[in-house]
Structure 1
Amino acid sequence: MDPDAVDALLSGESDDDDPVADDARVPHGSSDDREVLDFSANTNPTYPAAVPRIYETALPTAREYPADDYSAFRVPAGEYVGCDPESVIPTAGGLAAIRLAMGTVVHSGESVLVPAPSFSEYGREVRLQGGEPEFVPHDELLDADPADHAMVAVCNPNNPTGELYDPARLREYADRCRRAETVLLVDEAFLDFTEDASLAGEDGVIVARSLTKMFGLPGLRAGFAVATGQLRERLAAARLTWSLSEPAAAVGAHCLRQTEFVAETRQRIARERPRMASRLGDRFDVFESDAPFLLCDAGSSEAVDAAIAEARDHDIAIRDARTFRGLDSHFRVAVRMPAENDRLLAALGV
């Protein structure tokens, strides 16, 4: 390292071109107040019944380093998304999979097509690699030319708007990216709330998956990336050693086999989401959604403040969506259990 750079680090000063120093952390939903009913984070309010037992059983193994091949995790992960288990790269959550993907593909000075509004971490992760995010309206992304870009990032279903991309068009776009020699990164954090098939195992595609959303375990930090061929080899080589704790791997492997839990969750969301959308639509403009959340346009920034305050007065947290690029009068709410949803609707007067 350059001596001047070392001196700057020691003194607390930063280089004007330092992406780490220049890029602030991104705000997200979720509340750590146990007295608050949290509609700001899109996680399942329940988890598979055996999770505490599985975790407790695995906890003593945390006194030893885990086996770094993670075969007991990769096999159910591959079955869950329909790919060869050898293509699964374990990570500490979906965001770790996104960082791993960008860290192995994006180099300084290269550009990445990023949807907007969408998950704000994409742009930040690109900049942390020294790359340049080029923002494209999320509903126009599949029309954008991938040529001359290192990567295209897709969130499917998109967060915070909630809609799925057409499966045929997305696969056609994956083909277009392959021909352009551009990597397609597909963040499928919410895809398992839908019936659509994963792109896991497609050549030239990196899929990022998380156990956070469907299985209601954000603090577990378990997820995985999927890739094939040379992409897979690069991800596997760059992955942090012992990237999953043994309890996280054991709980994750168990959750990924809970097909009945997944089916019941999908059914509940399919019942509750339109009911909530109809009621919220009496006061707000509500976006159509295929995900376990609803984006609402309150009409003005002041109206968002009012809605947030009304919810807070009833010990409920909702997500201020004005932190998403291009949104200035919006908030987002999760779809939770029926009685909890009723409590939110009453708090908002709908």
Structure 2
Amino acid sequence: MDAEALDDIDRVPHGGATDPGVVDFSANTNPESPSGVTAVYDSALSASRRYPADDYVAFRAAAADYVDCAPAEVIPTAGAMAGMRLLFALALGDGDSAIVPEPSFGEYAREISLQGGRPVSVAHDAILDVDPADHALVVVCTPNNPTGELVDRDDLLRLAARCRKVGTTLFVDEAFLDFTPQRSLAGEPGVVVARSLTKVFGLPGLRAGFLVATGTLRDRLDRGRLPWGLSTPAAAVGTHCLRRTEFVERTRERVAAERERVRERLAAEWEVYPSDAPFLLFDTGADDPDAVLAAARERGVVLRDARSFPRLDGHLRTAIRRPRENDRLLDALGV
């Protein structure tokens, strides 16, 4: 890590409300989790007086089945963020440039800078057209946060081929891919995929996730990861959740139906971006976004102020939750 960069780089703002009296639409996490999580956690907690087995055999197997790759290609991490830092530390040398989409998840540029790299911003909808030559890394978020669009898998494969040709690592953040039927890029040579249990399983505080990589890159990531980087409860709950494919399918169907319903209502008042994710980005236009945020908060609803993302003036983002909660959102916004 570049120690001097820490003097100039601030924390990245994120969604998430701590007030129990409001419904939080600012964080894009599932309000539901698979059944049985508490029992699995409690059982694993009793085993936490011992170090976890550092090979994480069961977790790797479940993750591999989930994204259709080989278990050895799975690198367990304490959430996708820990995996991202591990990869960036490996892939970036001092002064190396990395292509990042904009607007997108703010931690990409921050983590690249913390590793001594240089983030090069490209419009999120032009990321597939970049020339990866002379860059150490290309970052793609699919579906992109906060805009919500899914990147076509065949287009990603073509970008991966161009990256391989020039020796550039392609990093694909699939944190929201669970909400779509599209197959992961896990196992594709030269590509590092990041997955998280935060979003679809509604467990942001568990801090469980994984990378998928192949070949020499996989070997280096596995050697470089922290020992016992995934706690015993996180590994056990993660394994349990990754086996709950019926839960994922039900969540996907609910989110798709509710997203369209909410989109239609919001579109009567504001411009709403097309989305394949469990959230919608909308432009308040001539309306004062602060007034919209305050009015919603008075009615017990917290939205994400998307003006903290580059290139977004007057934009807000809302998560898609359960039908009754979404009704409360629409009432609070008066649409």
Give the alignment's TM-score, normalised by structure 2: 0.98
The one of 201, 204, 222 equivalent to 1:215 is 201
User: Is it true that 1:229 corresponds to 2:200 in the alignment?
Assistant: no
For residues 99-128 of structure 1, the C-alpha deviation after alignment (integer angstroms, 9 at most, x for no partner) is 111111011100000000000000000000
Q: Which residue of 2 aligns with 1:183?
A: 169
1:1-350, aligned counterparts within 5 Å?
18-300=4-286, 303-350=288-335
Post-superposition CA distance 1:262-286 (Å, at most 9, x none): 0100010111001000000111110
* Other structure's SS at 1:18 match: helix
- Note the C-alpha offset of 1:22: 1.2
Structure 2 distance, partners of 1:238, 1:58, is 26
Partner Cα distance (2:92, 2:22) in 1: 40
Task: For 1:84 and 1:334, locate their aligned partners in 2 and report how far apart those are by CA, in whole Å.
Answer: 33
1:62 deviates by 1.3
Work out the CA distance in 2 between the residues paired with 1:36 and 1:61: 36
Q: Distance in 2 between matches of 1:188 and 1:62?
A: 30
SS in 2 for 1:248: helix
The one-letter code of the counterpart of 1:139 is D
Which amino acid in 1 is paired with 2:261? R
Among all aligned residue pairs of Structure 1 and Structure 2, give the percentage whose two residues are the same amino acid.
Answer: 59
Cα deviation 1:223-259 (Å, max 9, x = unaligned): 0000000100111111011110000000000000001
The 1-side partners of 2:311 and 2:99 are apart by: 16
Cα drift, residue 44 of structure 1: 0.3
C-alpha deviations, 1:276-332, integer Å up to 9, x for none? Answer: 0000011111000000000010015x6211111111001111000000011111010
1:153 Cα deviation from its structure 2 partner: 0.4
**CA deviations over 1:55-75 (Å, ceiling 9, x no partner):** 011111111110100011000
Distance 1:119 1:168 in 2: 23
- How far apart in 2 are the matches of 1:303 and 1:56? 47
Give runs of ≥4 in structure 1 deviating > 6 Å.
none
Normalised TM-score (structure 1): 0.94
CA distance in 2, matches of 1:222, 1:136: 29
Cα distance in 1, alignment partners of residues 43 and 151 from structure 2 = 40
Matched residue of 1:241: which SS?
A: coil
CA distance in 2, matches of 1:241, 1:167: 33
The more displaced of 120-129 and 304-313 is 304-313
The equivalent residue for 1:5 is: none
Distance in structure 2 (CA, Å) of the matches to 1:100 and 1:129: 10
Distance 2:50 2:91 in 1: 32
CA offset at residue 136 of structure 1? 0.1
Distance (Å, rounded) in 1 between the aligned partners of 2:275 and 2:87: 27
User: What amino acid is the match of 2:332?
Assistant: A
Compute the displacement of 1:21 (Å): 1.7
> Any idea what SS the aligned residue of 2:47 has?
helix
* Paired AA for residue 227 in structure 2: T
